[in-house]
Amino acid sequence: MTSHDQNFKNLILDYPRQALAFFAASEAEDMDASVTIQPLRQEQLKSRLGDRFRELDIPLLVEWPDGRREALLFVLEEETHPGRFSIHRLVHYCADLSELYQTDRVVPVVIFLRDGAAIPRTLQLGSERYTYLAFEYLYCELASTPVENYWHSDNLVARLNLPNMQWSQEQKVDVYAQAVRGLLQLEPDIERQLKYIDFIDIYSALDDNDMKSYQERYPQETQTMAGLRERLLTEGVEQGVQQGERGVLVKQLTRRFGPLESQTVERVQKASIEEVDEWLENILEARSLDEVFTPH
């Protein structure tokens, strides 16, 4: 089962600035490079241990260092199935956060992965005379967002979500290609590229024929991604070997000289593979722990 909640949590926490610019554009349009964005704890403390547990999706605290505006707290929630969305629960979330962080500057944002009819947009509590509570929230309906609006966007979060937007079946392969192209152009970090090609794959859901068509029509991107995947596999194998050698060294040292101090274990874990190899050779003739780490 795909955990859409976790997928979007990762996306928002890895790219908070771009996420706010895309999912909450009306509130984020004047956020310049000076603002700091800090994710807050997702779990609220209970008033009573027997209370029902509630978990917030992703609260982000936005602060202006020059003090020209007060801090603003964004509450982002992903809803895969709109029918399960509860505006009452969202009101609880926002009210609890407002109390917990002693602020009334809270912006609720809901990301709907799919279309949903009759989703409540506002909540009003009161009588025929007065309204005592009026609540609304920002929302982004991905499935009803025209893909053409973000086809060439320089916002990475928008480009990664092209497969979740509204497009025709004839555009499927091109949508996938444009999302991949955006990832390669806008994300320089190879590890992040490999991480979010999975995001694109999940939401594009290309079948074998689609993938074949993509490879034929976009050979350059295909070759680039193949190289990245091969590099990841190679690095994974190498890291596994290195961790294995470090583990062997720790066991051998413990066997020879007794329980190790945490500083010694940390030294082994941070050492280069060349150092680990040298220490494994030294341990055969060393009479003390110091001699193991002394260059020969």
Average pLDDT over residues 136-153: 96
pLDDT at residue 53 in the model: 45
pLDDT at residue 14 in the model: 94
82 near 110, Cβ under 8 Å?
A: no
pLDDT at residue 22 in the model: 97
Q: Which residue has the tokens 């209970």?
A: 46
Q: Kindly give, in sequence order, each residue whose CB lies less than 8 Å from that of residue 209, ignoring residues fewer than 6 positions away.
A: none
User: Which range is least confidently modeled, 7-21, 55-69, 70-84, 117-131?
Assistant: 55-69
261 near 253, Cβ under 8 Å?
A: no
CB count in 10 Å sphere of residue 240: 10
User: Which range is least confidently modeled, 155-159, 174-178, 202-206?
Assistant: 202-206
The Cα 296–Cα 291 span in angstroms is 9
pLDDT at residue 1 in the model: 47
**CA count, 13 A, side-chain hemisphere, 141:** 14
Rounded CA Rg of the chain: 26
pLDDT at residue 242 in the model: 64
157 near 24, Cβ under 8 Å?
A: no
Average pLDDT over residues 52-73: 77
Beta-bridge mates of residue 233: none
**CA count, 13 A, side-chain hemisphere, 196:** 31
Q: Which residue has the tokens 């290195």?
A: 242
pLDDT at residue 66 in the model: 79
* Nearest alpha-carbon partner for 139 in 162, 107, 161: 107
- Please give the mean pLDDT across all residues of the chain: 86
User: Tens digits of per-residue pLDDT, 163-203?
Assistant: 999 999 999 999 999 999 999 999 999 889 888 998 999 99
One-letter amino acid of 63: E
pTM: 0.74
pLDDT at residue 32 in the model: 86
pLDDT at residue 105 in the model: 94
User: Tens digits of per-residue pLDDT, 5-61?
Assistant: 888 999 999 999 999 999 999 999 888 888 999 998 655 555 554 544 445 478 999
Q: Which residues of 155-168 are buried (b: 16+ CB within 10 A; e: fewer)?
A: bbbbbbbbbbbebe
The Cα 68–Cα 31 span in angstroms is 12
115 near 144, Cβ under 8 Å?
A: yes
Q: What percent of the chain has pLDDT over 90?
A: 47
Average pLDDT over residues 263-269: 85
User: Which range is least confidently modeled, 16-20, 37-41, 125-129, 222-226?
Assistant: 222-226
Q: Which residues of 111-141 are buried (b: 16+ CB within 10 A; e: fewer)?
A: bbbeebeeeeeeeeeeeeeeeeeebebbbbb
